[in-house]
Structure 1
Amino acid sequence: MLAAARPLAYLDLRETLQRQIENGALPPGRPLPGERELAERHGVSRVTVRKAIAGLVADGLLVQRRGSGTFVGARIERAFSHLTSFSDELRARGIEPGSRTLSGESGAATPDEAMALGLAPGARVIRLRRLRLGGEQPLALERSTLPAFALASAAGVRDSLYAALDRRGLRPCRALQRLRAVAFDAEAARLLGVKTGSPGLLIERRGFLADGRVVEFTRSHYRGDAYDFVAELRSD
């Protein structure tokens, strides 16, 4: 008579799910099956499932979004040494990029915008605020300001801002970036599906054309649990 299979313990289930995430069986942004389904599939209690999921959330491999469920995390390694768009960066890692426009408008440049873009005070600019997604997972909040010559309107941007600029022959060829750590306020935390006060990364980017004109000023808030920024350093 065959012995009954030993039920998976908490660590066994955690390791099983981690392997499925690492080998791509559970791809980034994919919603995790419900507790009942996982419990039945692996022959464990729902308490064991909850404990295993909590451990993977703590490791950043899973992300829980209030009212939506649990999703496979999409931790991205992004290089500071290359000028690429958010969409290009994700596609290079096999993750489908997405975007949800929160607001788009044109108006007179504020003093800070005019200084960042090298414009006269009050010059017309295009403003675009978007939630950037990897699969179904919110990864970043972007607020972009562009001089009026760069875009006819904010509606001209579908998924990728750089693709829209490229269509007009105005994709930046170099950029200056600044990074600093921040804590998300209540609104940003709600949109990104994290707790208020969670750590994040703020990157300010000014993109330049070959003739030296500034074509974009973007402030991006990235989830601290989803991004690693790397830079190659060389000695002189």
Structure 2
Amino acid sequence: MSVATFLDPENWMQSGSGPRYVRLRRRIEEGIAEGTFPAGAPLPPEREIATLTGLSRVTVRKAIQELAEKGVIVQRQGSGSFVTGPDDRRVEQSLSRLTSFTDDMARRGMESTATWLERGIFFPSPEEVVALALSSGDSVARLSRLRLADGRPMAIERASLPLEILPDPKSVGRSLYEVLERTGKHPVRAIQKISAINLGPEEARLLGLQPNDAGLKIERMSYLKDGRAAEFTRSTYRGDAYNFVAELRLASK
């Protein structure tokens, strides 16, 4: 089927539901799944899609933006939008918002799942004592998970919290932040440190990569509104799956 025929609104617009940009996004996703838009191939320009579908440029642009946010396509300045392959999709992660992995994936239309590696109450390491301002004799709640999006391993996440913040680690199911939100102990700010690393054998195995492949190590300290330390997280992300984005503003003189 030609692209023009595939995008002809008579073939799909009336059978869908939801806003027009959502129906267009779904139609393009169908075309990618069926091979009408092969991996690595460019999408038609926005103006051409608007002409073929009878939709406004604004509607088309919104659909394209959602596809880019989900990692289905990649936008290259000056070249247009290209379909990404299933093993090359990158998630664009903002560094200006404090959100959970589950929320991040849900916004992109991806299903998040987790494989538990460790979950329980332990004696803290010296690093955890310092980071969380624990006292002698305190214990710590630890959550270690392999995080997946649409079945693809994305990150190994190891979180440590004071027991006053998370007294029952096994109460955490899909999202730690959902539990903290319910108990009124959701972090409101965090400091992150990002480092480029080469994956060790165990990290590579969990992430479905090869030892020494590129990865990202992220350490995050999260704080409650009253300034107390709430969460110390050390995560390892696969280097081929994420683009971290920060908005910068010129400092006033």
* TM-score when normalising by structure 2: 0.67
Task: Please tell me the residue identity of whatever aligns with 2:40.
Answer: Q
Equivalent residue, structure 2, for 1:103: 118
Task: Please tell me the residue identity of whatever aligns with 1:77.
Answer: E
Equivalent residue, structure 1, for 2:180: 165
Task: Please tell me the residue identity of whatever aligns with 1:104.
Answer: R
Distance 2:182 2:41 in 1: 41
Partner residue of 2:165 out of 150, 158, 163: 150
Partner residue of 2:226 out of 194, 207, 211: 211
RMSD of aligned C-alpha atoms? 2.6
Distance 1:119 1:103, change over 3 A: same
Partner residue of 2:154 out of 132, 135, 139: 139
Equivalent residue, structure 1, for 2:85: 61
Equivalent residue, structure 2, for 1:232: 247
Distance 2:138 2:42 in 1: 52
Q: How does 1:8-27 map to 2 (within 5 A)?
A: 16-19=38-41
Q: What displacement does 1:60 show?
A: 7.4
Task: Please tell me the residue identity of whatever aligns with 1:18.
Answer: G
Q: What displacement does 1:20 show?
A: 9.9
- The answer (yes or no) to whether the contact 2:153–2:206 under 8 Å persists in 1 is yes
Partner residue of 2:142 out of 101, 110, 127: 127
Task: Please tell me the residue identity of whatever aligns with 1:16.
Answer: P
Task: Please tell me the residue identity of whatever aligns with 2:130.
Answer: M
Distance 1:229 1:121 in 2: 37
Unmatched segments (≥5 aa) in structure 1: 1-12, 30-58, 64-72
Question: SS in structure 1 opposite 2:221?
Answer: strand
Distance 2:175 2:196 in 1: 25
Equivalent residue, structure 2, for 1:222: 237
Equivalent residue, structure 2, for 1:66: none
Question: SS in structure 1 opposite 2:236?
Answer: strand
Distance 1:158 1:21, change over 3 A: farther
- The answer (yes or no) to whether the contact 1:28–1:135 under 8 Å persists in 2 is no
- The answer (yes or no) to whether the contact 1:110–1:122 under 8 Å persists in 2 is no
Question: SS in structure 1 opposite 2:215?
Answer: strand
Distance 1:60 1:208, change over 3 A: same
Distance 1:205 1:163, change over 3 A: same
Distance 1:20 1:101, change over 3 A: farther
* TM-score when normalising by structure 1: 0.71
Unmatched segments (≥5 aa) in structure 2: 1-34, 45-63, 73-82
Distance 2:233 2:117 in 1: 15
Higher relative contact order (CA 8 A, sep 6+): 1
Q: What displacement does 1:153 show?
A: 2.1
Equivalent residue, structure 2, for 1:89: 104
Distance 1:87 1:133, change over 3 A: same
Q: What displacement does 1:75 show?
A: 1.3
Question: SS in structure 2 opposite 1:164?
Answer: helix
Distance 2:136 2:42 in 1: 54
Task: Please tell me the residue identity of whatever aligns with 1:62.
Answer: P
Task: Please tell me the residue identity of whatever aligns with 2:172.
Answer: V
Q: What displacement does 1:21 show?
A: 10
Distance 1:162 1:187, change over 3 A: same
Q: What displacement does 1:183 show?
A: 0.9
